[in-house]
Structure 1
Amino acid sequence: MPIPSSADLINLQTLQGVTSRESWEVEGIPKLSNVKNLTIRGVFQWNTIATLLGTLKHLNSLHIEGDDAPLTIIDMRSFPFYHGLQTLVLTDYQQPSHNHKKIALDVGMFPINLTRLSFGNTHLREDPMPVLEKLENLRYLALSDAIFQQMSCHNRVFSRLERLFLRRLQKLEEWKIEKGAMPMLDTLGISGCPLLRVPEELQHLTVLQELYWTFPSRDDKINEAFIKEVRNICKHVPSIEFDLD
């Protein structure tokens, strides 16, 4: 990706499509201190990326995609933008293996003031909600490409969450939703979750306006029963849409 001239870098506020193999990395880093929106793809050299992030004081939106293990252990507490970050997208495409250490989330991985979080990690084997529910300012949350089997949302958590998307959670079977959880949820989208049983607790999401769900099967009879179950539980939802996965 071509980078603006040295004189323009100091005023740059949005930088997208960067990869960790760019030749400009080292000499350009000191001049990027005013960037507010940053997208990095193809993370192969985590040290360089960490050096860049360590210079950014005004960052409020960060999007990192890669297929390398450092994405599983990212810790932002040492970065100067930590308390001001509002949007974070972290996606790790590396395929899980039997000898790869499973990751454990820590609330410090995610700045407390986040309003939008999209998190995808193929090594995540445990329910992330006990950590994510501590992010009290979240209004948008998307979880994808993880391999945990159960998920729980407790009473009085995600009090400001308005939109939730669950994508490609291939092993998710059960989702428990306590009454009082996600009281502001307006939109729910579920796709690529073929094993997920329809939670009866969806009826507790009383302000839900839109529900999007892909079919869990190619069998028409199974899908017919699935649609009937969803509509029966979600009678209060004005808009329910189904689609092929």
Structure 2
Amino acid sequence: MVKHCAGLPLAIVVLGGILATKNNSLNEWRKISDNVKSYLKKAKNQRPEDVLALSYDDLPPYLRSCFLYLSHFSEDYMIDMDRLIQLWVAEGIVSSEQEERDGGEIAEDVAESYLMELVERCMIQVRERDVATLKVKTIQMHDLMRDLCLSKAKQEKFVFIVNRSNASSLSMIRKVRRVSVHEFFFIQCIKSPNIRSLLFFNQFFPKEELEKYLPLEVLNYVEKHNGDCCNPLFWILLISTASTRHLKIRGICRYMFNNFKLLRVLNYEIGRAYGFFGGWELTSDIGNLIHLRFLSLRNHDILRSKLPSSLGNLRCLQTLDLRVYNYKIHVPNVIWRMEQLRHLYLPSRCKSRTKLKLGTLRKLLTLVNFNTENCYLKDLINMTNLRELVIKGAFNIENFNEEELGENPPIIGSKYFHSLFILTDSIDPRHLAHLLSSCTSICKLSINAEISKLPEYRYFSSHLAYIRLECCPLDEDPMPTLEKLPNLRILEFEETFRVNEMVCSAQGFPRLESLSLAWFNNLEE
């Protein structure tokens, strides 16, 4: 069979992936061999790439949509596995309804198994794995496999991709349900009210488009003198530029929010490429998208420092990513209405008046940028499905019993909880000990906070496989505590020790595979 691949390594690997899915009987392998021969005979020009097409035809129906969905992403794009799975679930490619009826696997676990099938078939390439669990973190597509994916997606009218080759002929966007934007275009070109998903991989309103409305000399002057606070001409031109752009973007957003009312997925996360040319207007009209299940505004510069309260209308949301570029932003207390939420990413910094009730979010699996200034600590106990928690900012336990830690109410109420990340200025060691005592099943722990000493060994989960301590100026050697953890495989320190001696016993660290020490200025022995 290898001779049909004409020496193309990818074709050989993919053919091996097909064989790996079959049982090892001679008859099954003969069928594959005959299929390869007959498939290539049908092709007018026999090429080794045609073997790749056979890999698609061999996919079971439930994997075909998963594979075709990869056509959304641009060439050489590094695809985050968690984000891809969230999109699959939001689109209904992997259903979240069955888990409620049958009490079986959650949709994200089913989707992960589908992804691993595509990996085993060698149709996607693994780029990064989680250091603790070895699960896939990022994937990528080989150029030839991506060409196949794009070809099949076009045949199936699965998605319309906006790029330089078709941006000028967008009248085609009438019946398609999914649109992936790789190059800028005006949303008003989409005339279909039935569009279900809209994914952006480029700037919403880049500098090139602004040139159509303002002289190039003005834009170049503003860029050249960016930050020149004493130059009055700079501020006059900057205000003119921003006003022009603001009006255009406001019109684009209102059109989108008022005309695509069946939208399920709105993914618009980009880097801030042009400073003041970046930015987006999140108007109250977004509350019209009541069917929305996925909304990401990651890395966006929201033009106002307050999100609209109409976000509370989005009761079907499963993923909400508010990690915007703004220094501080106010989030209205409406997220508690989104009881279907499974993944919530709060802004890294919220204004002091932000106070969110999250106790109704019982389906939540991921909670990022939680802190006790903008949220209620007691709400975590209601999140019985929580798997990952990122604490960023203040973490304090009110009415804390200093005398007996066990008398304080538990903090985490999920038995599926496996990852805890803490990023704060400082944390009370006793508060940390009580938090860890609730995390009986975690396998990953990362702490970046000023803390004088680690809690005693009995507060750490025996399942811990990965620990990272960064900028934790410990006054005591942590090794006598950490070496007792039976499953610890990876241990990382960065700017951690104040002591000059580190001691490990002969029988300590029974499963340690990797130890990383960085910026240890005081350590001598």
TM-score, normalised with respect to structure 2: 0.34
Does the CA contact (< 8 Å) of 1:151 and 1:176 recur in 2? no
Does the CA contact (< 8 Å) of 2:470 and 2:493 recur in 1? yes
Q: Structure 1's 201 and 47: CA in aligned 2 closer, same or farther, altered over 3 A?
A: farther
Does the CA contact (< 8 Å) of 1:46 and 1:70 recur in 2? no
Q: How do residues 32-181 of structure 1 correspond to structure 2 at under 5 angstroms? A: 32-41=338-347, 42-45=349-352, 48-50=355-357, 53-64=358-369, 70=373, 74-76=377-379, 80-81=382-383, 83-92=384-393, 108-113=410-415, 114-126=417-429, 128-129=432-433, 131-148=435-452, 150-154=453-457, 157-175=460-478, 177-178=480-481, 181=484
Are residue 10 (structure 1) and residue 315 (structure 2) matched? Answer: yes
Structure 2: tracts of 5 or more residues without a match: 1-279, 293-313
**Cα distance in structure 1, aligned partners of 2:473 and 2:459:** 27
Does the CA contact (< 8 Å) of 1:153 and 1:181 recur in 2? no
**Cα distance in structure 1, aligned partners of 2:362 and 2:434:** 29
Q: Which AA in structure 2 matches 1:216?
A: F
Deviations 1:99-121 (A, max 9, x none): xxx99785622335221111233
Does the CA contact (< 8 Å) of 1:125 and 1:147 recur in 2? yes
Equivalent residue for 1:204? 508
Deviations 1:113-164 (A, max 9, x none): 221111233342325346514522011111121232x224436952111111
Deviations 1:175-234 (A, max 9, x none): 2535973100111111121414424248511101111110312xxxx77xx5xx5xxxxx
Q: Structure 1's 189 and 33: CA in aligned 2 closer, same or farther, altered over 3 A?
A: same
Deviations 1:36-86 (A, max 9, x none): 111112233566412xx13322101111256xx626972235x642x2211
**Cα distance in structure 2, aligned partners of 1:88 and 1:168:** 20
Equivalent residue for 1:21? 330
**Cα distance in structure 2, aligned partners of 1:146 and 1:125:** 9
Determine which of 473, 496, 519 is the counterpart of 1:193: 496
Equivalent residue for 2:221? none
**Cα distance in structure 2, aligned partners of 1:55 and 1:48:** 15
Q: Structure 1's 152 and 55: CA in aligned 2 closer, same or farther, altered over 3 A?
A: closer
More strand by share: 1
Does the CA contact (< 8 Å) of 1:118 and 1:142 recur in 2? yes
Q: Note the C-alpha offset of 1:27.
A: 6.0
Q: Note the C-alpha offset of 1:6.
A: 2.7
Which gives a bigger RCO, structure 1 or 2 (Cα 8 Å, sep 6+)?
1
**Cα distance in structure 2, aligned partners of 1:189 and 1:152:** 17
TM-score, normalised with respect to structure 1: 0.66
Question: The residue matched to 1:76 in structure 2 has which SS?
Answer: helix
Question: The residue matched to 1:181 in structure 2 has which SS?
Answer: coil
Q: Structure 1's 46 and 206: CA in aligned 2 closer, same or farther, altered over 3 A?
A: farther
Does the CA contact (< 8 Å) of 1:174 and 1:199 recur in 2? yes
More helix by share: 2
